[in-house]
Chain A
Amino acid sequence: MFPFSFEWIWDMSHMVFHGGLWYALSIIGMGMTYCIIKAAYDSAKGKGGHHGHGHH
């Protein structure tokens, strides 16, 4: 799973597989980090809207 695992080889299959995997995980991670930090910031600033507004 990581380069320090003993069966890791720096070959094309590993690069393609892990490249894709970590790319997808990074996007999800960054997206959620942004959402959580912005939510904390917005609620700290006391922005309104406690009642459920219309769905998108």
Chain B
Amino acid sequence: MDSVLIPKGVERCSIGKFALFIAVVGAVLLWGVVAMLLIYIKGLNQTNMNNAYGFALWIWADLAVIALGGGAFFTGLLRYIIGKDELKHIINYAVLIGFVCYSSALLILAIDVGQPLRAWFIFWHANVHSMLTEVAFCLTCYFGVLTIEYLPMVFENRQIDRVPFFHHLGHNMHATMAIFAATGAFLSFFHQGSLGGVTGVMFGRPFGYRTGLLIWPWTFFLYTWSAAAVGPCFTIFITRITEAVTRKKLVKDNVVDLLAKIAGWMLLTYIIAKIIDTWYWAAVTAPAAGFTLMDFYSNNPGSAYGLWILIAEIGLCGVVPAIMLVTPNIRRRPAALFVAVTLAVIGACLNRWVMVLQVQAVPVLSFETWFTYFPSWQEIATTILPVAYGIILIALSYRYLPIFPQEQELNPIEGGK
């Protein structure tokens, strides 16, 4: 029924099956929308945040989703600026995933602030010294860049491409894409870093505070680095899931292998830097504020922050996937590659969790105790909302847009057209 919209030379499932899929995901989306409306109407008391937990699940979700969306800027940098031409076969999907991630972040932020109607104050009354100002500006600008990178794919839809203006616009945007990719990389460097800076500058919170270079705490650079490392891992992760759902091979092995290799080396160098930073913080920075490393981890009744979280973040989900990805014999096994990228993705999520939630949990005044938190169903629903939205957008894009240049070659249709 919608075959005129489907790209030429590829097969898609029936419209009925597709509609059912969208309906199921749509139900989850609707649940999230109901929660969102509750929050807008009744206020933030619908969450389990409190005066000790100003930052909670949503802020973690924001940071995590932006780190995972880092594949867009880094793949763009590798393809357009450094010239890794093979990545042109996966850049479209990386951009789409980035678009989903950043629009999700903006959506969650719009729900998270206490006065959403005043959100424009962050632009109008900007405090240039605040890391969050930097985040807001760069994030918004970069979302614009992602839209610009996504639009040419939309214009390549069979029907839209027939309109001369859109055809030419898409073509011209492709031709100038290097400029947008470079600007995107510049903006991403700063907002990915500033998200690390959000916690790193808090000199009142010894768990999160880091010294650094000039105005930038070390977490600034570590966050950009980890986003560049884990973003491509997330792109590979989602590509593999998409291939499993569609039961098709969508990207050739050499492309995935190249991206995984680069991600592996970024991850390895990042984890070494992270280990050095963690050591320095534990040995010098935190003791200067009166805390030992174990003050932050053990003996915290009621809370979940044992030393296991540090070992999981850096060891199991940092060193292990890094070594797996840089070792060709391991990287080239599909199952091992999937495990490695999954661990890397979990590692970034753990890192962001620790820097948002554990910072709030640790008492600073000696006569306070550890603070505990578990999200309310409204928070969980509104965090799953962008995941559902992302699945729908990816499904629509996969169905109607030529996202994967190699799909036709890898999946020839018998007696094909």
Chain A residues with a Cβ under 8 A of chain B: 1, 5, 7, 13-14, 17-18, 20-21, 24-25, 27-28, 31-32, 34-36, 38-40, 42-43, 46-47, 49-52, 55-56
CA distance A38 to B190 in the complex (A): 31
Interface residues of B in 129-172 (CB under 8 A from A): 129, 133-134, 137, 141, 144-145, 148, 156, 158, 161-162, 164-169, 171-172
With both chains docked as a complex, state the minimum distance between the C-beta of B20 and any C-beta of chain A, in angstroms: 29
Are the CB atoms of B183 and A28 closer together than 8 Å?
yes
CA distance A52 to B174 in the complex (A): 13
With both chains docked as a complex, state the minimum distance between the C-beta of A13 and any C-beta of chain B, in angstroms: 5
Are the CB atoms of B125 and A7 closer together than 8 Å?
yes
Are the CB atoms of B144 and A52 closer together than 8 Å?
no
Are the CB atoms of A43 and B187 closer together than 8 Å?
no
Q: Nearest residue in B to A26 (C-beta to C-beta)?
A: B183
CA distance A14 to B174 in the complex (A): 34
Report 23 cross-chain contacts, Cβ distance below 8 Å, ordered by A residue: A1-B123, A1-B125, A5-B126, A14-B128, A18-B128, A21-B137, A24-B183, A25-B141, A28-B141, A35-B169, A35-B172, A39-B166, A39-B168, A39-B171, A39-B172, A46-B164, A49-B167, A50-B161, A51-B161, A52-B7, A52-B156, A55-B156, A55-B405
Residues in chain A near residue B174, CB distance under 8 A: 56
Q: Nearest residue in B to A52 (C-beta to C-beta)?
A: B161
Q: Nearest residue in A to B148 (C-beta to C-beta)?
A: A32
Q: Nearest residue in B to A38 (C-beta to C-beta)?
A: B172
Residues in chain B near residue A28, CB distance under 8 A: 141, 144-145, 148, 180, 183
Residues in chain A near residue B129, CB distance under 8 A: 13
Residues in chain B near residue A1, CB distance under 8 A: 123-126
